[in-house]
Amino acid sequence: MKVVTGKIKLELRNGICIDSPQVSELDRDFQTYYGYIYSSSFGRNSSVFAEITEINYETDNNESIIKLDKRIAGEIADNDIASMIISPAPPQADTVFLAIPSSVGLPQGDWTNIVKESNLGKIVDYGNNLSFVVPSEIREPYVVQSQILTSLPYPPVIIHEGTKFQILKKDQANLAVSLQKGYISRSKRAKDLEVRVAAGYHEQLLALKNGQLENLGRSLEFTTKPKTAFEAIKTAFTTYYTIEENVTIDTETNFVGNIMFATSKDLQNIQLVEMIVSGKDNAGLLAIWIYGENRPVIEEKLQKEILPKIGIVIEGMKEGPELIQMYCAGNCGEMLKLEDMADNGIIQCPACDTPNMIPSRLRIH
C-alpha cells in the first residue's frame, strides 16, 4: 500500500493529478490507479475517492501537490494537507440510490435503463451529483440532475452493466439533509481510513469490500439476552484484534451489535471474522462471517477454533437458518428490501420485523 501526503490544489479537472517524486516507483504501464484522499487539517475530517488521471514524477516542488477536481472535493479545501492512499479500482455497484427534487416530473422507482446508459464506468460517492438524459415523446430529451444518497456496497463503487438504480423524490429541505448526511459519511470514512492505515488492515478490508476474499457464513440460535451474548463473545476472543465494534440497537426489547476481528497481526496469514448479534428479549441469532484468501483454511478456523470458543461462553446454542446475503437472518427467510436500508446498515424485515444488519463486505466505506 502506498500513501502520499501533500498539499491540495483544487482545479476544474477530471479526477486527481499528483505532482510528487514519492510515487516514482509506481508502474507507469498500469492501466488505472485510484486515490483515497483523506484530510484532517484545520480541524476538519473529510474524504474523496477518484481516478488518478495524471502522475508527474519529475517536479520542481519541494512538497507533493495533489490536484483535485473541485466539483467533487466536498469539504476538502485548497491548501489542505492531506494523505492519499493509492488504491485499486472500487467494487462494482449492485444498486445505487439517487434523490431528485420533488418538482421533477418523474415517478419514484427503478430507472435503471435510463440512468445507466449515460453513466457506465463512473464512480459513485456520497453526495456527488449524477446526471442522466430522459427521453420524451412530447418534447426534446431533457437532463435531470440527481444526488447520490448511497449504494450497495457502500460508496465508493463503480457503475457497470449490472448496476440497478432506484430514484427517490425529496423536497429541497430533505435534499439538503441528505447532502449533509453525505458529508458526515465522508467525514466518518476519513477517520476510519486513518485508523485502518495506522493499524495496517486497510488492504485486507479493501480486498474484502472488492470481493477478493473467500467467505463462509454460519448462524447459531441462542436462548439468552442478546446483549449478554454479545458481551460473552467479546470476552471469548481477546486473543484476536478488534477492528470494528458497534452496538446499533440497544433497547429494552431489541438488540443489534456487531464486532469484527483480525485473527492475527501477521498480514500474510490473516483472516477477518465478523459476528452480528441480533434478537429480542431472551432469544436471538448469532451470524458469523469469516473471510480469507484460502477457503480450506477459513473452514478449519471456523470449525476448530471459532465455534468451540463460542460454545464455551454461550450455552444451549443450536444451528440457525442458512445465511444468505440480503435475506432475513430470522426463520422467515424473507428477502430484504434495499430501499428500507437505514444509514447504519440495518434493514427491518418486512415479514417478521427482525432488524438485520448487512455484512461488513457491503458496509465498508
Question: Which pLDDT value is given to residue 22?
Answer: 62
| Contact of 285 with 279, CB cutoff 8 Å | yes
CB 86 within 8 A of CB 1: yes
Share of the chain above pLDDT 90, in %: 41
Closest C-alpha among 44, 27, 297, 314 to residue 183 = 44
Q: Where are the alpha helices (DSSP H) in 210-317?
A: 226-236, 295-301, 307-313
Mean pLDDT across the chain: 86
DSSP 8-state secondary structure symbol assigned to residue 310: H
Question: What is the structure's pLDDT at 54?
Answer: 86
Written as nine digits, the cell of 70 is 473541485
Give 40-80 pLDDT, tens digit per residue: 666 678 899 999 988 887 767 678 899 999 988 888 889 99
| Three-state SS at 2 | strand
Q: Does the pLDDT of residue 27 top 60, yes or no?
A: no
**Helix %, strand %, coil % for the chain, to 5?**
25, 40, 40
Burial of 327 (0-12, 13-18, 19+ CB in 10 A): middle
Confidence of residue 339 (pLDDT cuts 50, 70, 90): low
Indicate whether 257 pLDDT > 60: yes
227-254: pLDDT as tens digits = 999 999 999 999 999 888 889 889 877 8
Residue 73, phi then psi, degrees to nearest 5: -70, -25
Looking at the predicted structure, is the pLDDT value of residue 29 above 50? no
96-117: average pLDDT? 92
| pLDDT per position as a tens digit, 289-311 | 999 999 999 999 999 999 999 99
* pLDDT band (50, 70, 90) for residue 31: low
- Backbone torsions φ then ψ of 174, nearest 5 degrees: -75, -30
User: In Å, how far from its chain's centre is CA 150?
Assistant: 9
Which helix (H) or strand (E) covers residue 115, if one does?
helix 112-117
Range with lowest mean pLDDT among 103-112, 224-233, 264-273: 264-273
Distance CA 362, CA 321 (A): 20
Half-sphere exposure of 15 (CA within 13 A, CB side): 16
User: Of 112-126, 175-189, 322-336, which has the strongest mean pLDDT?
Assistant: 112-126
CA nearest neighbour of 112 among 153, 154, 159: 159
- Residue 203: the pLDDT is 83
Q: Report whether pLDDT(354) > 70.
A: yes
| DSSP per-residue letters across 5-64 | EEEEEEESSSSEEEE-GGGTTS-TT-S-EEEEEEE-GGG--EEEEEEEEEEE-----SS-
Q: Which domains does the chain have, with CATH numbers?
A: 2-87 (2.40.40.10), 95-199 (no CATH), 208-363 (3.30.530)
